Chains A and B, each alone.
Chain A
């Protein structure tokens, strides 16, 4: 048997909705794992990233840790895929871009309702937030984008299977319209 395609996934500033959608390919997961080997992914909780064929990124870039993980993914992946609105555009987390970072932190940690022991955390263990949330293509080169919030399980399935077969990727209209 030829060696399986190695896939890694991660969620940066996202909600895990795109990963839920990946699981939404239902029983086809069984078929998928005959074709691919999952490396680092929240699905199997592997934390170490080895070189892979396909890296799939959910979520945008909101803090220094996101930058580090993303660059590591880029270094280790032959093909890097941005999945979902957050990775592609910044999405929901980027709504904070309308405000100063200071305002956001003050609202969350000082002035918000129900805040006890108000202070803005400055523990060196905690990654610092970037001034603004960025789409991942502004930090590394991205090879494919899969739009949607989240893209449907079917869309992800079409993408992965066509990619694995080395075909140009075509979606039926029903999988890429959002109205």
Chain B
């Protein structure tokens, strides 16, 4: 599915943040990425979805064999890449429903599929909103405007549920969620899991991984993946923090 190799990136004309990342995410796999604040997790996610504030200076990223870095953000969405933003944007004046319909129809059109009419879309949207246990009133409010932190995160997962991406990258979608919301979000992600879809979860908490069980866990520190492992790694991190890995990596 996704093949990242020797990836270096910096803030446009600034300091280097990613310093050689290699990662392979197979079809149907769930990978968790953990790591200290400022280690480059959101930067990696941003590079994968084409944020122009980052500049790739070396390395490559392919999605099912295609050069991902050569595509615009909207083309990546058409190929099935989705980012759940760590900080979702508020957009006054555009309703959630209109935004999502425009998005879904844009990608369907680009894929040569028929667009959904207003009724078909509303039926789909309401069904997905139920799944996310979201009040339908959220659909007619401006995108994220005045939403609480948790509501914004839930709205990200609603968008994911509607767009059904092949590669979902969720950047700290669990942060700021109460326990019930965490379960709903996890259920939303699990509902999407299939042999055809892959997920990258960026998180600080082992708790999320109780609900969405990852196949692999990676620790990102100082712009590099310093350790990879299975579920037990998350438990060790929860108990001991990052210090032991960072110092071990520093010695290596």
* Bound pair (A, B): no
Q: Interface on A for B, CB 8 Å cutoff?
A: none
